Amino acid sequence: MKFLGYCKDKWISFFIFAVVFAAGFGLLLLIGTPLAAACVVEGAYTAGFFLILLQDFLARKGFYEQVMEGAENLEEICYLSEFLTEPYFQEGRILYEILRRDEKYMNDRIAGQQQELQEYKAYVETWVHEIKTPVAVSRMIMENNRSDVTRSLSQEMDKVEGYIDQMLYYSKSSSLQEDYIIREVSLKEMVMSAVKAHSKAMITAKVTPGFENLDHMVLTDPKWMGFILGQIITNGVKYHSKGQKPELRFTAVREGSFILLSVSDNGIGMPAEDVVKVFRKGFTGSNGRKFARSTGMGLYLCDTLCRKLGTEISLTSKQGEGTKVTLRLAAAEKVKEPNITEL
């Protein structure tokens, strides 16, 4: 806020001052007041006017600079009133009250939205658990009535369960801190469990698994990491060419205090322009459109959950040669340091 701009806004006040100054000075001279005395009186009047103007300018300048600074620095501008000191001048108090009421309104709206979100999440989680009962019953019926039809239905039921789990983990991803426990886990057992859970799809697609150097202990949550591995396996099974002998290799190497678990396939790979976008929410890419309908949520969820678990995930791929996804897991066992006495 500049003083020149402030003075321009006060031009009516200056006009009134000039009129009163001229009238007062003329009146003093008219009643016989000596010129020197008239100048002193008018000078005092002028000084008082400008001191009042300056004090008013400084008060407004401080308040409006607070407003501008808060508007620029605050991420949530609706909380601007918390940043301000209530001013003494009337229009400043009006603005302050408007901002305070806006903050209250936004707080009420946010509280309402959070309540609705919690209710929605609770409904989704309940629905997921409830839907698993008819799915399990359907599986029992298919197991007791084996045929080509029921085998096909069983494969489709696997997909249904995959989408159900995806929905459940997505609904929980925003509040993961309430539902995970980091503990020491056998990497080999965790990988084998994920492979076993998706064995039907792998057998149907004739995918050959391979395992190398998985005898490590890592720190993670096995349930959530099992879901992440499941999404990676599903992609490895889904995207391969006809006539190809699909393979899925699980390899681990130690890197300092971390274990790098790589899951590689020899599938169709993906274009370079898609690789940088695979972790975006809803991104399906050219493969998702050509080979199978995709939600674009699998790798997005993997990335989201890995961030919350403190695990880095990366992906490399070359079209026609396959894809490799790498997880950087914290090692549970420490690296053995050399014994100085033995050197």
Q: Could you tell me the residue range of the domain that residue 31 belongs to?
A: 3-105
CA–CA gap between residue 14 and residue 212 (Å, rounded): 87
Q: Look at residues 53, 72, 105 and tell me which one is the last residue of a structural domain.
A: 105
Clarify whether residues 98 and 184 are in a common domain: no
In a domain, 129, yes or no: no
In a domain, 61, yes or no: yes
- According to DSSP, the residues that pair with 218 across neighbouring strands are 185, 331
Q: Look at residues 41, 76, 105 and tell me which one is the last residue of a structural domain.
A: 105
CATH of the domain at 238: 3.30.565.10
In a domain, 30, yes or no: yes
In a domain, 79, yes or no: yes
Which parts of the chain fold into alpha helices (H)?
A: 3-9, 11-30, 35-73, 90-144, 148-172, 187-197, 199-204, 222-238, 272-275, 285-290, 298-309
Cα–Cα nearest to 302, from 200, 206, 234: 234
* pLDDT, tens digit only, all 343 positions of the chain: 676 776 777 778 778 878 887 888 788 778 887 888 878 888 887 888 788 878 777 777 777 777 777 667 766 666 677 667 777 777 777 777 787 888 787 788 878 888 887 777 777 778 877 887 788 788 788 888 888 888 788 878 877 888 888 787 777 776 655 567 889 999 999 999 999 988 888 888 889 999 999 999 999 999 899 999 999 998 888 887 776 788 999 999 999 999 999 999 988 888 888 888 888 887 877 766 665 556 778 888 899 889 888 899 999 998 888 899 999 999 987 655 555 444 3
Clarify whether residues 95 and 198 are in a common domain: no
Q: Look at residues 50, 74, 105 and tell me which one is the last residue of a structural domain.
A: 105
Clarify whether residues 190 and 101 are in a common domain: no
In a domain, 323, yes or no: yes
In a domain, 115, yes or no: no
Cα–Cα nearest to 282, from 268, 294, 290: 294
